[in-house]
């Protein structure tokens, strides 16, 4: 069977019709999600295979996007490894015990057979999802070492990630052990999803834009590379994405990605000038246009298609995730609009 065109784009083979999915397409913008989640915590819903599968499929059914993104969270692996963590609505992930000292890092659980077994519900959820999706590909994902470690060090969401960046500079050896632990945690989570049937992966380094290039290359890139290396022997495209990370596009690609996610702060044609020729890109409709007129939304969509026209492959996405108060009909209409466009070179 031929690969779905979204996977082809990620491999550098263009189609006449754009392929599209949205980061955070599942979740609170959908009434059917809110109904299903009623009475179950976010993290519990991630380890109930039937629920995780159904939530993953909901936006594909409704919006006709060209891929599902596995319903989970970047902190699910930490929880399956035994750390105390919850997701507070309106706040984000919060850890019971922040990991701040060398002693805290030494006390992290060993990632042995217990961790492998704790990933069973994830494998089961992926299998159920893939069966339900049919020919629509499933994208697996994980959080990158910097972003996940930042939640662990800060204890919760943070604006400037000061404690994390200070640890990196004051005790680079301890930082390196923490980042290596997260790389194994996230890398094995990615691998479990691919072996269970996911056809592509995305590594989210959402907050890495807080770092300069030198800090990134020294303290983060080797660990992101270790996470991606865990799936490098498998035949799936590897997308790497960060927010406000336009200055890190090249080092993030060099961490072992095969395609780059670009946020809405940089036009795709500019990103393509920076990246090596032939790099497939993903992005980058500004999520703010979802709250404007249809005319403005379609104009932005067309502008993104134009900016990506010379790429070897382009998967349309938002520049960051769908906000919870987005009108779902706006997303459905945007997908139909994109699917009516012809992007064959003139
Ligand atoms: O499309 C999808 O919904 C896929 C599943 C997905 C979730 N989180 C579900 C989720 C994915 C890919 C993520 C990744 C994630 N989680 C990232 C990286 C992507 C990004 O947005 O930059 C980050 C930084 C997190 C951490 C996190 N988890 C935050 C900041 C929040 C929001 C907290 C809030 O309430 O504002 C979460 C919770 C979360 N993850 C929700 C969902 C659907 C909302 C939970 C709810 O329904 O209450």
Which tens digits make up the pLDDT trace of 262-294? 999 999 999 999 999 999 999 999 999 999 999
Q: Could you give the residue numbers annotated as active site? A: 24, 28, 37, 73, 151
Q: Which domains does the chain have, with CATH numbers?
A: 5-340 (3.20.20.210)
How far is it, in rounded angstroms, from Cα 346 to Cα 342? Answer: 10
CA-nearest of 261, 255, 272, 265 to 220 is: 255
Query: How many other C-beta atoms are found inside a 10 Å radius of the C-beta of residue 96?
Result: 9
Complex ipTM value: 0.92
Q: Say if residues 168 and 37 touch (Cβ distance below 8 Å).
A: no
User: What integer pLDDT is reported at residue 2 of this predicted model?
Assistant: 66
Q: Where are the beta strands (DSSP E) in 194-268?
A: 200-204, 238-241, 259-261
Burial tier of 128 (Cβ tally within 10 Å: 0-12, 13-18, 19+): buried
How many whole angstroms from 273 Cα to the centroid of ligand 1? 31
How far is it, in rounded angstroms, from Cα 222 to Cα 236? Answer: 21
Residue with the smallest CA separation from ligand 1 atom 25 is 74
Which tens digits make up the pLDDT trace of 7-66? 999 999 999 999 999 999 999 999 999 999 999 999 999 999 999 999 999 999 999 999
Asked if residue 221 belongs to a known ligand binding site, the reply is no
Q: Say if residues 70 and 139 touch (Cβ distance below 8 Å).
A: yes
Which tens digits make up the pLDDT trace of 36-50? 999 999 999 999 999
Q: Is the CB of 26 under 6 A from ligand 1?
A: yes
Q: Is the CB of 25 under 6 A from ligand 1?
A: yes
Q: To the nearest whole number, what is the mean pLDDT of the chain?
A: 97
Asked if residue 28 belongs to a known ligand binding site, the reply is yes
How many whole angstroms from 73 Cα to the centroid of ligand 1? 6
Q: Say if residues 10 and 278 touch (Cβ distance below 8 Å).
A: no
- Closest atom of ligand 1 to CA, residue 24: 1
Q: Is the CB of 317 under 6 A from ligand 1?
A: no
User: Across-strand partners of 142?
Assistant: 203
345, pLDDT greater than 80? no
Instruction: State percent of the chain over pLDDT 90.
Output: 98
User: What integer pLDDT is reported at residue 3 of this predicted model?
Assistant: 83
How far is it, in rounded angstroms, from Cα 221 to Cα 217? Answer: 5
User: What integer pLDDT is reported at residue 235 of this predicted model?
Assistant: 97
- For CA atoms 254, 260, 265, 266, give the dihedral sign: positive
Q: Say if residues 287 and 323 touch (Cβ distance below 8 Å).
A: yes
Asked if residue 161 belongs to a known ligand binding site, the reply is no
Query: How many other C-beta atoms are found inside a 10 Å radius of the C-beta of residue 170?
Result: 9
Which tens digits make up the pLDDT trace of 216-236? 999 999 999 999 999 999 999
Mean pLDDT, rounded, for 174-190: 98
User: What integer pLDDT is reported at residue 122 of this predicted model?
Assistant: 98
- Closest atom of ligand 1 to CA, residue 33: 47
Which tens digits make up the pLDDT trace of 288-342? 999 999 999 999 999 999 999 999 999 999 999 999 999 999 999 999 999 999 9
């Amino acid at each position: 069977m031929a690969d779905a065109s979204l996977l082809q784009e990620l491999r550098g083979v263009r189609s006449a019709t754009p392929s599209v999915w949205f980061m955070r397409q599942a979740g609170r913008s959908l009434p059917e999600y809110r109904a299903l989640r009623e009475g179950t915590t976010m993290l519990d819903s991630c380890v109930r295979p039937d629920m995780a599968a159904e939530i993953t499929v909901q936006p594909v059914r409704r919006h006709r996007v060209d891929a599902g993104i596995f319903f989970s969270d970047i902190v699910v692996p930490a929880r399956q490894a035994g750390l105390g963590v919850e997701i507070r609505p309106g706040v984000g992930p919060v850890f019971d015990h922040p990991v701040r000292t060398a002693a805290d890092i030494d006390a992290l659980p060993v990632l042995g057979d217990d961790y492998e077994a704790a990933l069973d519900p994830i494998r089961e959820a992926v299998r159920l999802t893939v069966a339900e999706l049919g020919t629509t590909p499933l994208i697996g994902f994980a959080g990158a070492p910097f972003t996940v470690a930042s939640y662990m060090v800060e204890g919760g969401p943070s604006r400037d990630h000061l404690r994390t960046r200070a640890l990196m500079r004051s005790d680079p050896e301890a930082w390196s052990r923490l980042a290596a632990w997260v790389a194994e945690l996230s890398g094995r989570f990615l691998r479990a999803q691919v072996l269970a049937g996911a056809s592509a992966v995305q590594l989210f380094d959402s907050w890495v834009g807080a770092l300069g290039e030198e800090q990134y290359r020294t303290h983060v890139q080797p660990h992101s590379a270790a996470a991606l290396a865990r799936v490098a022997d498998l035949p799936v495209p590897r997308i790497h994405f960060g927010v406000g990370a336009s200055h890190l596009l090249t080092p993030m690609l060099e961490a072992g990605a095969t395609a780059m996610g670009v946020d809405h702060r940089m036009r795709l044609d500019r990103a393509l000038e920076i990246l090596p020729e032939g790099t497939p890109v993903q992005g980058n409709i500004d999520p703010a246009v979802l709250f404007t007129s249809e005319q403005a939304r379609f104009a932005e969509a067309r502008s993104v298609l134009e900016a990506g026209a010379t790429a070897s492959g382009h998967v349309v996405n938002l520049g960051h995730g769908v906000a919870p108060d987005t009108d779902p009909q706006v997303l459905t209409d945007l997908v139909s609009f994109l699917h009516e466009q012809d992007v064959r070179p003139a």
